[in-house]
Structure 1
Amino acid sequence: MGLTSNKVLALAVVFAVLLFFGTVWYWPRFARRNWRAVGGRIGLLFATQVAIFASIGLAANQAFGFYASWADLFGQENGQALVVDHGVGGASGGPLQVMDTQTVNVPGGAQPTIGGQIQKVGIFGQKTHISSSAFVYLPPEYFQPQYKARTFPVTVVLTGYPGTASALIKGLHYPQTAHELAKSGKMQPMILVMLRPTVAPPRDTECVDIPGGPQTETFFAKDIPDAVRSHYRVGPIPTGWGIIGDSTGGYCALKLAMHRPNAYFAGVGLSPYYKAPLDPTTGDLFHKNKTLQSRADLMWFAKNMPAPDTSLLVTSSKSGEKDYNNTLKFIQLVQANKKTRISSIILASGGHNFNTWSREIPAALQWLSGRLQER
């Protein structure tokens, strides 16, 4: 049973409850003042506390998608997420392979023409040789005969770090939200490409082209659009392409829209930060390259570099978000350059969590829809 399995969580909760009542029941038997009794009391308390914290940890991991598997949790996930044929064009003749399909959790979702479809895919970067798995949401219109000649705008959706792509479906409900908004006429039908920014696990590359290392910015700016275009009916680059993410994914989305406006016409940062951290999870991202390090600082970029022709949306909360003041500063810097368009969602309160982002995602998708074009 996997780390994110409901059965694992249920067993952990049941075990914690049994240990709690067992401790209450057997406590009188360990009331004596000898080493066996003291050891028994310590053992019962320790086991109960471990079981309770394990239950809470499993529940939190399911809610926020920190780790995808036991190997990921214990730091053993150190290989690429996808095994592909690295021959010319890959095993399927292209850089994108469909590995599985699943229904969308909406009424009538079993039929693609009603609910759309989620495809699990493998993407092999022809330029960077980075490989990653992703989930692609195709709206119902993609399968309807009257739209067979139509192309659709695309939004790349990124998790935070470490994150799991499945959390974008199960926790943040991106496909369901996109389906409901399009059905009600609040946004145009849109393809979503959902994945985590951790494409060189377990390293947090912060979507940086690392000197002598993974070229992750290029992977997101060049390889992903090329791979998706090779397989699906998608809108023109860049006017048909947007990118959105939360936390680390939000930083990546803003940076890609600013650095690569020829790839993304709009970028949304949900609770983003504005400067790549340097810590044990990232390692040395810049190898003393001050120019590269400065460009990765979005405040510096907005102040010192030519304004890119792109649209940005940032979100924050007056209470609960530590980067609220930085967000206001970033908005002012972008406004001053006159060319880059910027919008914001500022909540009265809301923490750095799924609940807050779920409140912002519908408005953010509508905002993206209004800026992206089909062919």
Structure 2
Amino acid sequence: MAINGLPALICALILAGAVFTAVVWWAWPRLAGPGARPVFGRIGLQLVLALAMGLPLLLAVNGGYGFYSSWHDILALSRDEPVVSGDPGADAVRVQGTHSWRYLGSDDPAVIGRIEAVTVRGARSGLNGQAYVHLPPEFLRASAEQRARFPVVLALSGYPSTTRVLIDLFHYPRLALDAVRSGAMRPAVLVMMTPTVAPPRDTECVDVPGGPQVETFFARDLPAAVAGHYGLTRDPRGWGVMGNSVGGYCALKLALRAPESYRAAAGLSASYAAARDEETGELFGGDPVRRRESDLLWRLRALPQPPVSLLVASSRKGEKQYPQTLEFIAAVRPPARVSSIVLDSGGHNYETWGRELPPALEWLVGRLRVE
């Protein structure tokens, strides 16, 4: 039973109702009265009741925000072991199936394109990544030569999250088709992923010493694998990356640290340095130089800047990283370029990102050129 499905939520509601009824009508009267045993019994019942009543709420929140995609994500104990790819001679992109969806009442690929569920196998990093790839209808009817001229956007979710939120909550494919229909954007191939390719650890897209090589996966493995499988360009001027929250940090960092792979990036509510908490663990092996080099504000101020186009989005009210966003904008200098989306009010949530995403996607594709 899927953790994000309606059946799981219904079962949790039924369980909560049954537990509440049992506690009120049966257990509580039997534990009335003084004495240590009844008191501890009532405490235990309150804990059981709180857990049972809280489970539907937790499932509903998870369904809306996509923190976990399966029960395994919650129960997983390993933090450092990457998912190792199999036969290195096999196709680096393996199509697992096609995602069913509709747009403007149609499910015809000639109208809405095709979304493929794929596994990307990292030859250098040894990591596997699950992705959805949206091939627009123009791509499906294009020749091989024409396909090599399509821009490519890597879209990253936050942490914790799942790849499905990029389709179900962010609506990346629908927004792309809307923009193409209105003439605001030309067709682009979308590669949609979560940055968590070594679950459940939040690696902040870092090559962890002795651990998962996540930056290598996104900077080198993924562009080579996807371009090779779909016949896309490997010119970095045709590749862009964007994301929200941790995904936004990853996007900006990939452009600044790997301009040979991505020449444009957009970060929505992005942080500007790698976090350090229970979910990340020690990402840099205790090396302060490694940590400093992943600090984007430090990089902009201390190192030569690459010829990349960057977009940052924040809100004057509701975003705690707004002051750092202003610092980031002020620190960018040629040959790098920076644009911004600044809302009067917003927050670190899907409602805010939903307002920022359409112009950010159009901006990003508009910066990609394949010659």
Using structure 2 for the length normalisation, give the TM-score.
0.90
Sort the Cα spacing of 1:27 and 1:258 in 2 relative to 1 into closer, same or farther, 3 A: same
Q: 2:139 aligns with which of 132, 138, 142?
A: 142
Instruction: Name the SS for the 2:208 alignment partner.
Output: coil
- Give 2:315's aligned residue: 317
- Give 1:33's aligned residue: 33
- Give 1:224's aligned residue: 222
- Give 2:3's aligned residue: 3
Q: Does 1:182 align with 2:180?
A: yes
- Pairwise CA distance, 1:235: 3.7
Is the 1:134–1:165 contact (alpha carbons within 8 Å) kept by the matching residues of 2?
Answer: yes
- Pairwise CA distance, 1:18: 5.4
Is the 1:30–1:40 contact (alpha carbons within 8 Å) kept by the matching residues of 2?
Answer: no
Question: Unpaired segments of 5 or more residues in structure 1?
Answer: none
1:93-242 matched pairs, under 5 angstroms: 94-144=91-141, 149-150=146-147, 151-242=149-240
- Alpha carbon RMSD of aligned pairs, Å? 2.6
- Pairwise CA distance, 1:253: 0.3
- Pairwise CA distance, 1:66: 1.2
Q: 2:292 aligns with which of 290, 294, 303?
A: 294
The 2-side partners of 1:82 and 1:210 are apart by: 14
The 2-side partners of 1:160 and 1:313 are apart by: 17
The 2-side partners of 1:59 and 1:125 are apart by: 34
Instruction: Name the SS for the 1:122 alignment partner.
Output: strand
The 2-side partners of 1:213 and 1:31 are apart by: 52
Across the two proteins, how many residue pairs are aligned to each other? 369
Q: Does 1:61 align with 2:62?
A: yes
Q: 2:252 aligns with which of 254, 271, 284?
A: 254
Is the 2:80–2:201 contact (alpha carbons within 8 Å) kept by the matching residues of 1?
Answer: no
Instruction: Name the SS for the 2:363 alignment partner.
Output: helix
The 1-side partners of 2:27 and 2:212 are apart by: 56
Task: Please identify, of 129-138 and 79-88, the stretch whose mean Cα deviation from structure 2 is larger.
Answer: 79-88
Q: Does 1:369 align with 2:365?
A: yes
The 1-side partners of 2:231 and 2:104 are apart by: 25
| Structure 1 residue identity aligned to 2:364 | L
| Structure 2 residue identity aligned to 1:64 | Y
Instruction: Name the SS for the 2:236 alignment partner.
Output: coil
- The C-alpha deviation readout for 1:191-210, integer Å capped at 9, x for no partner, is 11111112222222211223
- The C-alpha deviation readout for 1:223-256, integer Å capped at 9, x for no partner, is 1110011111324521111001111111110000
Instruction: Name the SS for the 1:149 alignment partner.
Output: helix
Sort the Cα spacing of 1:255 and 1:28 in 2 relative to 1 into closer, same or farther, 3 A: closer
Is the 1:221–1:263 contact (alpha carbons within 8 Å) kept by the matching residues of 2?
Answer: yes
- The C-alpha deviation readout for 1:125-183, integer Å capped at 9, x for no partner, is 12222211111111111223589834311111111123211121112211121122212
The 2-side partners of 1:205 and 1:32 are apart by: 50
The 2-side partners of 1:147 and 1:223 are apart by: 22
Instruction: Name the SS for the 2:261 alignment partner.
Output: coil
Q: Does 1:339 align with 2:335?
A: yes
Is the 1:80–1:131 contact (alpha carbons within 8 Å) kept by the matching residues of 2?
Answer: no
Question: Unpaired segments of 5 or more residues in structure 2?
Answer: none
Is the 1:4–1:69 contact (alpha carbons within 8 Å) kept by the matching residues of 2?
Answer: yes
Instruction: Name the SS for the 2:256 alignment partner.
Output: helix
- Pairwise CA distance, 1:213: 2.9
The 2-side partners of 1:157 and 1:222 are apart by: 16
The 2-side partners of 1:28 and 1:19 are apart by: 12
User: How high is the sequence identity, in percent, across the aligned residues?
Assistant: 43
The 2-side partners of 1:355 and 1:247 are apart by: 13
The 1-side partners of 2:353 and 2:34 are apart by: 54
The 1-side partners of 2:128 and 2:234 are apart by: 24
Is the 2:245–2:269 contact (alpha carbons within 8 Å) kept by the matching residues of 1?
Answer: yes
Is the 1:66–1:164 contact (alpha carbons within 8 Å) kept by the matching residues of 2?
Answer: yes
Using structure 1 for the length normalisation, give the TM-score.
0.89
The 2-side partners of 1:249 and 1:28 are apart by: 48
- Pairwise CA distance, 1:330: 1.0
The 1-side partners of 2:83 and 2:27 are apart by: 51
Instruction: Name the SS for the 2:367 alignment partner.
Output: coil
The 1-side partners of 2:216 and 2:334 are apart by: 27
